[in-house]
């Protein structure tokens, strides 16, 4: 999967600008599903049709992973050609200073800041700017509203991987690999690659209305508690994918949670339970769409979330695929 992960993470795709990511996914997924369509908001919705199995109730299952990443957007251009900007999604000022950003056309800029009043002053976004090397405003090819993503190459550290946009290109890679490895299923399985998660779960909401699933699982990243003096959290890299119990936006459906845990134990797949104090996923929007959907989340432990250099464990990724294939190959047991 590593070449696929590299291709996905290095693609340009801030919220609302997911086109390049969507084309990569379409290229890889088309021959492994029965239907492919793009809805008006830009969600990529694919379907692998189920084959009825004696004694197994067929369900409509939605798997969701979001294509978008955090980024920045130009809000003002001064006379010297320096670009003021604001965030697209959850961007932290501490991660910005000295970072490079790239625009959709491939041009690059460097983030600088005004001289601080105090040497140890906390960096503020309204005191920062993007320098694209412009001589003056007249020779600048950037304008208000242009969006940029962070620049970081994918790096294979062996057991661990680091890149930008693991949130949530790693979820997209897992869905793609699951579609490839899932040879047969009694269920109609929708692999949905959503847009604009980072700015309000918008793609998940509209796609859930379009698919109308019986059961849904979002695949996304979660925080860890395994770094020096980290905030206490019972999630670690390498201990298996995490089955969500709760986050700031949702309580996972207990039947979906138990179905995932019981299947993991049957398959011998290591797993963890996750309680996330801040943040939420596409599952929140899916769970509360229409009259309600039985929804859960399979999370990939990830260090340094919403920074330009996130980190995951390759075994966790592969075990997530193994668990999803196991879940989709048999009956849905919500207890």
pLDDT beyond 90 at 335: no
Do 169 and 21 have their domain in common? yes
Half-sphere exposure of 35 (CA within 13 A, CB side): 13
Do 14 and 57 have their domain in common? yes
172 assigned to some structural domain? yes
pLDDT beyond 90 at 139: no
CA 7/CA 61 separation, integer angstroms: 27
Judge contact between 277 and 248, C-beta under 8 A: yes
Could you read off the pLDDT of 150-160 as tens digits, one per residue?
Answer: 999 999 999 99
Could you read off the pLDDT of 178-222 as tens digits, one per residue?
Answer: 999 999 999 999 999 999 999 999 999 999 999 999 999 999 999
Report CA torsion sign: 176, 181, 183, 185. negative
**CATH number of the domain enclosing 138:** 2.40.30
Which residues are known to be catalytic? 197
Range of the domain at 49: 2-69+164-329
Whether pTM > 0.85 for this model: the answer is: yes
Could you read off the pLDDT of 45-55 as tens digits, one per residue?
Answer: 999 999 988 88
Judge contact between 136 and 283, C-beta under 8 A: no
Do 177 and 244 have their domain in common? yes
Report CA torsion sign: 219, 238, 243, 149. negative
Do 142 and 169 have their domain in common? no
Per-residue confidence (pLDDT) for residue 136, from 0 to 100? 86
108 assigned to some structural domain? yes
Q: In whole angstroms, how far apart are CA 63 and each of 163, 179, 191, 194, 298? A: 23, 10, 5, 10, 10
Q: What is the 8-class DSSP label of residue 18?
A: -
76 assigned to some structural domain? no
Do 64 and 95 have their domain in common? no
User: Who contacts 318 (Cβ-Cβ below 8 Å, separation ≥6)?
Assistant: 1
Range from 71-75, 115-119, 233-237, 329-333 carrying the lowest mean pLDDT: 115-119
Q: What is the 8-class DSSP label of residue 303?
A: B
Total residues belonging to the chain: 335
- Phi/psi for 52 (5° steps) reads -55, 140
Do 28 and 52 have their domain in common? yes
User: Who contacts 114 (Cβ-Cβ below 8 Å, separation ≥6)?
Assistant: 127, 128, 129
Per-residue confidence (pLDDT) for residue 183, from 0 to 100? 92
Kindly list the strands in the beta sheet with 44-48, ordered across the sheet, starting from the edge strand earlier in the chain.
Answer: 35-38, 44-48, 188-194, 60-66, 215-222, 294-301, 242-246, 272-275
Compute and round to an integer the Cα radius of gyration of the chain.
20
Bridge partners, residue 312, by sequence: 161
**Strands (E) located in 78-214:** 83-88, 100-103, 108-113, 128-131, 147-150, 155-156, 160-163, 188-194
Binned at pLDDT 50, 70 and 90, residue 283 comes out as very high
- 3 state SS of 245: strand
CA 169 from chain center: how many Å?
5
Could you read off the pLDDT of 239-273 as tens digits, one per residue?
Answer: 999 999 999 999 999 999 999 999 999 999 999 99
- For all residues of the chain together, what is the average pLDDT? 96
pLDDT beyond 90 at 36: yes
**CATH number of the domain enclosing 240:** 3.40.630.10
Do 109 and 62 have their domain in common? no
Per-residue confidence (pLDDT) for residue 316, from 0 to 100? 98
Helix (H) or strand (E) holding 294: strand 294-301
Last residue of a domain, one of 150, 173, 191: 150
Instruction: Using a pLDDT cut of 70, give the percent of the chain over it.
Output: 100
């Amino acid at each position: 999967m590593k070449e696929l992960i590299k291709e996905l993470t290095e693609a340009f795709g801030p919220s609302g600008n997911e086109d390049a990511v969507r084309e990569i996914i379409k290229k890889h997924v088309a021959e492994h599903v029965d239907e492919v369509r793009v809805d008006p908001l830009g969600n990529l919705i694919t379907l692998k049709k189920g084959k009825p199995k004696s004694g197994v109730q067929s369900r409509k299952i939605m798997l969701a992973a979001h294509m978008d990443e955090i980024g920045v957007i130009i809000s003002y251009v001064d006379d010297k050609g320096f670009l003021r900007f604001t965030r697209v999604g959850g961007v932290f000022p501490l991660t910005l200073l000295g970072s490079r950003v790239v625009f959709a056309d491939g041009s690059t800029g460097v983030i600088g800041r005004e001289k601080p009043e105090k040497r140890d002053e906390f960096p503020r976004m309204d005191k920062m700017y993007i320098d694209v090397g412009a001589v003056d405003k007249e020779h600048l090819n950037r304008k208000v509203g242009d969006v940029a993503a962070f620049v970081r190459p994918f790096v294979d550290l062996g057991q661990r991987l680091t890149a930008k946009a693991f949130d949530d290109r790693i979820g997209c890679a897992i869905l793609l690999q699951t579609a490839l490895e899932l040879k047969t299923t009694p269920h109609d399985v929708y692999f949905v690659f959503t847009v604009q998660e980072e700015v309000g779960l918008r793609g998940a909401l509209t796609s859930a209305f379009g698919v109308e699933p019986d059961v849904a699982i979002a695949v996304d990243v979660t925080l860890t508690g395994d770094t020096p003096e980290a905030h206490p959290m019972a999630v670690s890299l390498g201990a298996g994918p995490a089955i969500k119990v709760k986050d700031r936006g949702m309580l996972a459906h207990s039947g979906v949670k138990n179905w995932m845990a019981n299947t993991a134990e049957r398959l011998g797949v290591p797993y963890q339970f996750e309680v996330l104090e801040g943040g939420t996923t596409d599952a929140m929007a899916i769970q509360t769409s229409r009259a309600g959907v039985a929804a859960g989340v399979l999370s990939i432990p990830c260090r340094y979330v919403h920074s330009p250099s996130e980190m995951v464990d390759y075994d966790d990724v592969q075990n997530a695929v193994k668990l999803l294939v196991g879940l989709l190959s048999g009956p849905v047991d919500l207890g």
